[in-house]
A = this chain, B = another copy of it.
Amino acid sequence: MKVALIGMGSVGKGVAGVIARKDLGLTITGIADSTSGCVDPDGLDIANLLLNKSKNGCCGDRQISAMDVIKKADYDALIEVTPTNALTGEPAIGYIKTALLRKKHVVTSNKGPIALAYKELHALAHKNGVVLRYEATVAGAVPVMHTLEHGLAGNEILALYGVLNGTCNYILTRMADEGLTYEQALLEAREMGYAEADPTYDVQGIDAAIKLVILANTIWGNGVRLNDVDRTGIDLLTADALRLAEEEGCTIRLIAEAIPRKHILRVSPRILGKNHPLVVDGTLNALTLETDLAKEITLIGRGAGSTETASAIIGDLLFIKDRYARST
Contacts and interface: CB of A to CB of B under 8 A. Distances in A.
Place the interface of chain A in its size category: 35 or more
The CB with the most chain B CB atoms within 10 A, among A143, A152, A300, A305, is that of A143
Interface string A10-41: 00000000100010100000000000000000
Given A275-B279, A279-B275, A294-B311, A146 B141 contact: no
Nearest to A291: B311
A293 interface: yes
A63 B255 CA distance: 57
Contacts of A297: 141-143, 299-301
Given A274-B275, A307-B293, A152 B315 contact: yes
A294 B302 contact: yes
Nearest to A276: B281
A217 interface: no
Nearest to A312: B294
The CB with the most chain B CB atoms within 10 A, among A277, A279, A280, is that of A277
Interface in A296-328: 296-302, 305, 307-308, 310-312, 314-315, 317-319
Contacts of A299: 297-300
Contacts of A135: 151
Contacts of A275: 274, 279, 281
Interface in A123-180: 135, 141-143, 146-147, 150-155
A314 B141 contact: no
Contact of A153 (B141, B154, B308, B314): B314
A206 B153 CA distance: 30
Listed from nearest, the 9 A-B pairs whose CB atoms lie closest are: A143-B151, A141-B294, A154-B314, A293-B311, A146-B151, A294-B311, A298-B300, A153-B318, A297-B301
Given A150-B319, A293-B314, A297-B300, 17 more contacts: A135-B151, A141-B293, A143-B150, A146-B151, A147-B147, A150-B315, A151-B315, A152-B315, A154-B318, A274-B274, A277-B280, A293-B308, A293-B310, A295-B301, A295-B305, A295-B308, A299-B300
